[in-house]
Structure 1
């Protein structure tokens, strides 16, 4: 399934909105894209198992990057 099924990533206005809000909360846009991909990949109820673990992995990488840059 194409990732641009989420129209925010496919439209200029959506991309602008994503940049604005990601900047406000300190979330890299690529991390948001990966989180959305996990939701799309696990869109059926049978595949939702593991979604929280995938989110933890993506968000944990963001935290790791912040720790590395602070050192």
Structure 2
């Protein structure tokens, strides 16, 4: 998560997110899910968490 905390890193991430059409906040949430699941030794539920984050993003785009 260090990359998100640094100004240069945050700018780089935002640039790439814009290029691929993924909201910055969604990417941050996805990374947080991966970190949370790996530190707890639980991979179960990771894909479901991804589906929820990306599904919310899709719903916002459609509105």
Task: State TM-score, norm by structure 1.
Answer: 0.81
Largest Rg, 1 or 2: 1
For residues 3-28 of structure 1, give each alpha carbon's deviation from its aligned partner in whole angstroms, at most 9, with x where no partner exists: xxx11111111011111001011111
**Alignment partner, residue 53 of structure 2:** 58
Q: Tell me which stretches of 4 or more aligned residues in structure 1 moved more than 2 Å.
A: none
Match of 2:42 in 1: 47
Number of the residue aligned with 2:13: 18
Alignment size in residue pairs = 63
Residue in 2 aligned with 1:3? none
Report the 3-state secondary structure (helix = DSSP H, G, I; strand = E; otherwise coil) of the residue aligned with 1:49.
coil
For residues 14-68 of structure 1, what are the alpha-carbon distances to aligned partners after superposition, in whole Å with 9 as ceiling and x for unaligned?
0111110010111111101110110011014741101001001000111101111
